[in-house]
C-alpha cells in the first residue's frame, strides 16, 4: 500500500500538463484581440490627408543669410500664433481652433525655409488651410521687412493631396497585435504562479481506519 501511494504521489498534477500551455494561450489571446481591435479601428476611421506649402526667408541688401536663417526660425514659431491664424481663417473658411489643431510648421537649422503642413479628412481643405496660413504668415512678415531687412517669399504652394497620410488597416492591425501581445506578456508577469511542487506539497489523503465489520471479516 505504501508503494502504491508513493507512485500516486509522484504522478504530475493537472499543472504538469497545462502549466506550459496556459501562458502561451494568454499571450496568443492578447495578440489576437489587439490585432482585431487595431484592424477594426483602421477600417472604420476616416483617412486623413496632409498638404504642405513652403516659404523662404530672403535677406535684403541690408541683411545677410545668417539673419534670414534666424528669422525663418522665428516665423516658423509665429505661424501657429493667434495673430496669424486669425487672418488665415478668413481664407481657409474654418475657425481658429480648427487651424490650431490641424496646422504644424517645421523649420530647418541649415536653410531659411518654413514648411507649413495642414491635416484634414478632406484633401482639398488640407491644401486650403496650409495655403491660408502661408499667406497670412507672409503678409505679417513682410509688413516689417523694412525693420527686419528680411523678406518672406512663397517657395511652393500646397496642392491637393491624393494619397492619405493616416495609417492603413494593415498597419493598425500590426500595431494592435504588438500591443495586445505586450499586454498579454505583462499579464503573465503579474499573474500568481502555481508550480507542480505546490501541488505535490499538499498533504496526501490518508485512508480512514477500517470499520469493525471489515476487521472481523478479515479474521
Same domain flag for 29 and 68: no
Whether the CB-CB separation of 114 and 77 falls below 8 Å is answered with no
Element of type H or E holding 117 = strand 113-120
Same domain flag for 61 and 119: yes
Same domain flag for 99 and 177: no
Rounded-to-integer distance, Cα 121 and Cα 100, Å:
15
Residue 40 inside a domain? The answer is yes
By the 10 Å C-beta count (0-12 exposed, 13-18 middle, 19+ buried), 37 is classed as middle
Same domain flag for 144 and 57: yes
Q: Which of 7-11, 52-56, 68-72, 200-204 has the lowest mean pLDDT?
A: 7-11
pLDDT (average), residues 8-29: 52
Per-residue pLDDT tens digits for 121-142? 999 999 999 999 999 999 999 9
Same domain flag for 94 and 139: yes
Residue 104 inside a domain? The answer is yes
Same domain flag for 143 and 53: yes
The pLDDT score that the predictor gives to residue 126 is 95
Does the pLDDT at position 186 exceed 90? no
Per-residue pLDDT tens digits for 66-108? 999 999 999 999 999 999 999 999 999 999 999 999 999 999 9
The separation between the first and the last C-alpha atoms of the chain, rounded to the nearest angstrom, is 19
Whether the CB-CB separation of 141 and 68 falls below 8 Å is answered with no
Per-residue pLDDT tens digits for 33-64? 665 665 565 555 668 899 999 999 999 888 88
Output the average pLDDT for the chain: 76
Stated length of the chain: 219
Q: Which residues contact 144 (CB under 8 A, 6 or more apart)?
A: none
pLDDT (average), residues 6-16: 47
Same domain flag for 148 and 180: no
Which cell goes with 3? 508503494
Rounded-to-integer distance, Cα 53 and Cα 135, Å:
10
Count of the separate structural domains present in the chain:
2
Residue 8 inside a domain? The answer is no
Query: Packing angle between helix 65-78 and helix 123-142, nearest 10 degrees?
Result: 130
Same domain flag for 172 and 152: no
Rounded-to-integer distance, Cα 207 and Cα 9, Å:
14
Residue 113 inside a domain? The answer is yes
Rounded-to-integer distance, Cα 57 and Cα 52, Å:
17
Same domain flag for 107 and 188: no
Residue 7 inside a domain? The answer is no
Residue 29 inside a domain? The answer is yes
Residue 94 inside a domain? The answer is yes
Domain that holds residue 120: 49-156
Rounded-to-integer distance, Cα 123 and Cα 48, Å:
8
Same domain flag for 87 and 138: yes
Same domain flag for 33 and 55: no
The pLDDT score that the predictor gives to residue 63 is 87
Residue 208 inside a domain? The answer is no
Q: Could you tell me the CATH number of the domain that includes residue 69?
A: 3.30.70.1130
Q: Rounded to the nearest 5°, which phi and psi values hold at 138?
A: -65, -40
Helical residues (DSSP H) of 11-148, grouped into ranges: 14-18, 21-44, 65-78, 82-92, 96-102, 123-142, 145-148
pTM: 0.61
Same domain flag for 72 and 84: yes
Amino acid at each position: 500500500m505504501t508503494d502504491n501511494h508513493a507512485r500516486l504521489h509522484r504522478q504530475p498534477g493537472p499543472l504538469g500538463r497545462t502549466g506550459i500551455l496556459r501562458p502561451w494561450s494568454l499571450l496568443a489571446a492578447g495578440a489576437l484581440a489587439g490585432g482585431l481591435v487595431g484592424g477594426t479601428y483602421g477600417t472604420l476611421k476616416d483617412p486623413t490627408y496632409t498638404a504642405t506649402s513652403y516659404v523662404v526667408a530672403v535677406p535684403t541688401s541690408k541683411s545677410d543669410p545668417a539673419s534670414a536663417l534666424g528669422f525663418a526660425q522665428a516665423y516658423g514659431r509665429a505661424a501657429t500664433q493667434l495673430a496669424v491664424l486669425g487672418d488665415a481663417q478668413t481664407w481657409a473658411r474654418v475657425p481658429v481652433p480648427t487651424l490650431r489643431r490641424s496646422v504644424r510648421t517645421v523649420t530647418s537649422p541649415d536653410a531659411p525655409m518654413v514648411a507649413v503642413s495642414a491635416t484634414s479628412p478632406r484633401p482639398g481643405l488640407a491644401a486650403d488651410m496650409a495655403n491660408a496660413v502661408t499667406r497670412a504668415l507672409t503678409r505679417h512678415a513682410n509688413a516689417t521687412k523694412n525693420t527686419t531687412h528680411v523678406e518672406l517669399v512663397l517657395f511652393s504652394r500646397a496642392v491637393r493631396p491624393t494619397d492619405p497620410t493616416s495609417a492603413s488597416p494593415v498597419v493598425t492591425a500590426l500595431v494592435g497585435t504588438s500591443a495586445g501581445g505586450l499586454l498579454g506578456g505583462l499579464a503573465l508577469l503579474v499573474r500568481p504562479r502555481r508550480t507542480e511542487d505546490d501541488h505535490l506539497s499538499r498533504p496526501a489523503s490518508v485512508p480512514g481506519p477500517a470499520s469493525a465489520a471489515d476487521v472481523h471479516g478479515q479474521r
